[in-house]
Structure 1
Amino acid sequence: MALILKGSIKLYHYLNEDIVDERTRDWFLIGSPWPALALIIFYLFAVLKWLPNYMKDRPAYDLRTVIAIYNAFQIAFCAYVVYYSLRLGWLANYSLVCHPVDDGSHSVDYAWKVCYGYFAIKLIDLFDTVFFVLRKKQNQVSFLHVYHHFGMVAVAWGMVKWVPGGHMTLLVPINSFVHIVMYSYYLLTICNESYKKSIWWKKHVTQLQIVQFTILLVHFTVLAVAPDCPCPRIPAYILIPQNLFMVILFSDFYYRSYIKPNKVKKEN
């Protein structure tokens, strides 16, 4: 038992002290894993227990104005992150095959405007679930939805702490672009109810999610097998199964939502 405890303490210091990026170690919520972990746990209790219990005997809230403002803010913030990720990295000097954690003249700007900005977006994304519960749409608080949201907070936090630049950060512009499309769709449905009846919109947003995770799966696999690459590979070993899992989950959702119903209709 003492050996396990000693090993756990050693691993904690290694992850939280020895291999952190010195530029970001003192940034808000990054220095220690406990505040971010506490936020994730609070989120899980809030959307799975506290808020559903609170809403049990109450009517659904009308949050259309709040959600419209929220969606517009998300579109703008995601566009900001995409712009700087391309300007400072992926359209400047970043390599798609192997690019180490950047330490050039724009590296701190990239870490702050792109990686930390992305982390902030993932925290704000958690309100998606809160809005579902307050509108009494608990059926949309699925395992896929909740897992994806708190999982991306963890991924973004790890990026800022350990690899705030380079190969691993391609997920920032790709995922943020997908969210621009997604929140644009949500904003349209708030402004015009008829868009909710348009299946093809929702269908293509899901397809875009699947394409996104497939591209990232390939991208991280390239890093894992690239010879003589100075970029840390351990994050790739973590994100390869993570993205594969997401491809499977979103593909299963796509099948159950859009393919299976059509099969049932044809059979009837």
Structure 2
Amino acid sequence: MLQEIQAMGSHAMDIYDYLLAGIDPRLKEYPLMQNPIPMSSILLCYLFFVMYLGPRIMANRKPFQLKEAMIVYNFTLVALSVFIVYEFLMSGWATTYTWRCDAVDTSDSPQALRFWSQQKKHGQVTFLHIFHHSFMPWTWWWGVAYAPGGMGSFHAMVNSSVHVIMYFYYGLAAAGPRFQKFLWWKKYMTAIQLTQFVLVSLHATQYYFMDSCDYQFPMVLHLIWMYGTFFFVLFSNFWIQAYVKGKRLPKQDVKQCKNGTAVHTNGKHHENGINHGTSNGASNSSAPHENGSIHVSKMKKA
């Protein structure tokens, strides 16, 4: 039995060494890229914090007021995303790539090396959120290690373009009530995200219909196709729950409605379960109410 365990351990180490041997040699000087252990450890710590430690620490504490920090954070990511998209374009997508079968350039040419440049709301910690922010970095470590460029990088360029729009939206949302009137396009933000997954899956699909393609890492394209399709399903479910069934009204808003407090979302004034359009966005006012059960019923119907 002991010999069998040792043999399995030796076999596992052989596989591990084989995988590390295939890593792009240009990565040796980059932090966290020598092997997958540091990255995997960081992601495990992230999961432990968002699923257990964070909620436990904040259980009896008031939420932090991070308005200014969130504004800086989101608009910094807008600028960073613009820079990343520009680098993707200059690295091939706007210069030498055909947008079809584009192999990874493993040389040390200047263009090939450009690819190396890169609050207490537990309701937001959903399966979609956790899966995306843990699975995506983990798979991208392998993508960067083995396939830095070529047609497998299309989805990253598209995703970075979406991030420009997405973090601009988040930046406005973090800026406070006076900007709520500019956030009427939240629904279309989700539509843009759905469109990106369609484009990513279609771009990967063309590989299966090519007579020949010298892209070196077909497995990456298989994963990208599955990733795009899977996230299209998840975001479609979000669309249905939020915009068709209307089931994603924040709990605090439901509580305010029960108490007769005016609720303001996306530039509209919801008072006592009735939707009133406003010209100046959201405010912090409240309104008296009568017969709270009727108002709750109206809100549910809305």
Q: TM-score range by the shorter chain?
A: 0.7 to 0.9
Identity of aligned residues (%): 30
Give the structure with higher Rg (CA). Answer: 2
Residue 143 of structure 1 pairs with residue 127 of structure 2: yes
The aligned residue for residue 39 of structure 1 is: 42
Structure 1 letter corresponding to 2:19: L
1:23 touches 1:108 (CA, 8 Å); kept in 2? no
Partner Cα separation in structure 1 for residue 15 and residue 190 of structure 2: 38
AA aligned to 2:17 is H
| Contact 2:24 2:146 (8 Å CA) reproduced | yes
Q: Give 1:165 shift.
A: 1.1
Contact map agreement 2:172 2:183 (CA 8 A) in 1: no
Q: Distance in 1 between matches of 2:71 and 2:189?
A: 18
User: Greater relative contact order (Cα 8 A, min sep 6): structure 1 or 2?
Assistant: 1
Give yes or no for the alignment of 1:79 onto 2:82.
Answer: yes
Task: From the superposition, tell whether residues 55 and 266 of structure 1 become closer, same or farther in structure 2 (CA, over 3 Å).
Answer: closer
What is the aligned partner in structure 2 of residue 16 from structure 1? 20
Looking at structure 2, the residues matched to 166 and 261 of structure 1 have their Cα atoms a distance apart, in angstroms, of 41
2:9 is matched with 5
Query: Could you tell me which amino acid in structure 2 is paired with residue 258 of structure 1?
Result: Y
Instruction: State the distance in 2 between where 1:220 and 1:7 align.
Output: 33
Distance in 2 separating the partners of 1:206 and 1:94: 29
Partner amino acid, structure 1, of 2:27: T
Structure 2 residue 186 is the aligned partner of structure 1 residue 206: no
The alpha-carbon deviation at position 9 of structure 1 amounts to: 2.2
Whether contact under 8 Å (1:110, 1:165) holds in the other structure is: no
Spell out, residue by residue over 1:201-224, the C-alpha distance to the aligned partner (whole angstroms, 9 max, x if none). 221111111111111111122234
How large is the RMSD of aligned CA atoms in angstroms? Answer: 2.3
**1 CA distance for matches of 2:181 and 2:238?**
18
Q: Is the 8 A contact 2:103 2:149 kept in 1?
A: yes
Deviation digits for residues 40-81 of structure 1, max 9, x if unmatched?
000000111111100000000000111111111101111111
Partner of 1:233: 218
How far is 1:159 from its partner? 2.0
| Cα distance in structure 1, aligned partners of 2:208 and 2:41 | 31
Matches within 5 A, 1:1-268: 1-2=4-5, 4-17=8-21, 19-103=22-106, 105-113=109-117, 117=118, 135-196=119-180, 200-231=184-215, 232-261=217-246
Structure-2 separation of matches of 1:72 and 1:65: 11
Q: Structure 1 CA distance, aligned partners of 2:125 and 2:45?
A: 16
SS in 1 for 2:214: coil
Structure 2: 5+ residue stretches without partners: 248-297
Q: Residue 9 of structure 1: SS of its match in structure 2?
A: helix
TM-score, normalising length from structure 2?
0.75
Number of paired residues? 246
Q: Residues of 2 paired with 1:196 and 1:147: CA distance?
A: 29
Q: Report Cα offsets for 1:221-245 as digits up to 9, x if no partner.
A: 2234433211110111222222211
Q: Shift in Å at residue 170 of structure 1? A: 1.0
Tell me the distance in 2 between the aligned counterparts of 1:34 and 1:106.
Answer: 30
After alignment, is 217-226 or 177-186 more displaced?
Answer: 217-226
How far does the alpha carbon of each residue in 1:154-186 deviate from its partner, in whole angstroms, 9 at most, with x for none?
232122200111111112221011111011001
Distance 1:65-1:159 versus aligned 2 partners, 3 A rule:
same
Checking the alignment, whether the CA contact within 8 Å between 2:74 and 2:167 is kept in structure 1 is yes
Contact 1:111 1:160 in 2 (8 A): no
- Runs of 4+ with >6 A deviation: 264-268
For residues 112-148 of structure 1, the C-alpha deviation after alignment (integer angstroms, 9 at most, x for no partner) is 12xxx1xxxxxxxxxxxxxxxxx22101110001111
Deviation at 1:25, TM superposition (A): 3.8
Q: 1:27 to 1:227 in 2, by over 3 A?
A: farther
